[in-house]
Amino acid sequence: MSASTTVLVADIGGTNARFALADLSLAAPLNQGSIVEYPVAQFGSLGDAAAHYLQEQGATASSGVFAVAGRVDGDEARITNHPWVISRSRTAAQLGFEQLHLINDFVAQAMSIALLGPADVVQIGGASWEPAPAGEPRNYCVIGPGTGLGVGGLVVRDGRNYPLATEGGHTSFAPANPEQIRILEILSAQFGRVSNERLVCGPGLVNIHRALSEITGVDPGQLAPSDVTARAAAGDAIATRAVEVFLEIFGAVAGDAVLVQGAWDGVFLTGGLVPRLLQQLQLSGFRPRFESKGRFTATMSQIPSMAIVHPCPGLLGATAYALDLQHATRGTPA
């Protein structure tokens, strides 16, 4: 790799930090073999972790794009579930970088769409997708349940990619049937206002299971999301229904996000729960609820919904971000 075209990319969460090298001169710039993951607790700062990675790889780079699971405010970023406070300028100086960009993790998830190929996604429903020809405009949505519910978008215009960072996971939950109305009543008693994130994320799956248990007069005890999915896999009726309701609501929320953003070219499903529930997702009520939008049902039936199965979409998106910056600097289309 040439140091002038090598970029250090990172995907930083509250538990783990992933690093990789990307060579922007290549058709497939992300070097899959260079991906390494470290526990963030192993290092005192992001700069220390990045410096360790470069030393371990015997690599050099003059720039970086780091996606972080938290708010980026000017020169500073804070990881939502870890005490690191990241200074862009201090980290760049520590690493000797000419440029360092901090971006929100869902900006990276949105940007990953620019580099996804057919093998990186699984089609959910009857509408198919393929990467857009160069230069054609596109409007995409990305939505992902993990610890929370992330929602973003990607607008492609004149060969440039413009990611949209939103807080769409905090929109209000709209129940669609008597069962969901009862779930809303139970969760409202606990939380007051109930956002979509209260249901469509890991803890949200537990919330749904607890509400269904209350409806049936059962005390489920303290459970983690993995406990609910394990019980569902073992045939437990309440857990199975909890997963079904989770996926139905996920479909409705994804469809709403498409309508709000005008993402007529497709929605991409990401986050930690998507690959774990992929088989159920394909057979669930996700797609019927996604399409069930009254006078827009026919339109929604033509919009692709694709589950991202690429192992590191955050790193792929950070690479796409670096590529887009390069094209903007050179004045060439992406």
Annotated binding site: 10-15
Contact (Cβ atoms closer than 8 angstroms) between residue 189 and residue 183: no
DSSP letter, residue 172: B
The residue behind tokens 């007069």 is 217
Nearest-5° angle of CA 152, CA 326, CA 264?
30
- Give the phi and the psi of residue 159 in degrees, each rounded to 5: 75, 5
Look at strands 160-165 and 149-157 and give their pairing.
antiparallel
Contact (Cβ atoms closer than 8 angstroms) between residue 286 and residue 251: yes
CA distances from 261 to 72, 154, 167, 222, 270 (A): 22, 10, 12, 37, 17
Nearest-5° angle of CA 221, CA 223, CA 229?
125
Kindly give the residue spans of alpha helices, DSSP state H, lying in 62-146.
88-95, 105-111
- Taking residue 43's Cβ as centre, other Cβ atoms within 10 Å add up to 17
Q: Which two tokens stand for residue 314?
A: 């955050």
| 6 bridge partner residues | 23
Q: Is 234 exposed, middle or buried (0-12, 13-18, 19+ CB in 10 A)?
A: exposed
Contact (Cβ atoms closer than 8 angstroms) between residue 172 and residue 194: yes
Known binding-site residue numbers for ATP: 10-15
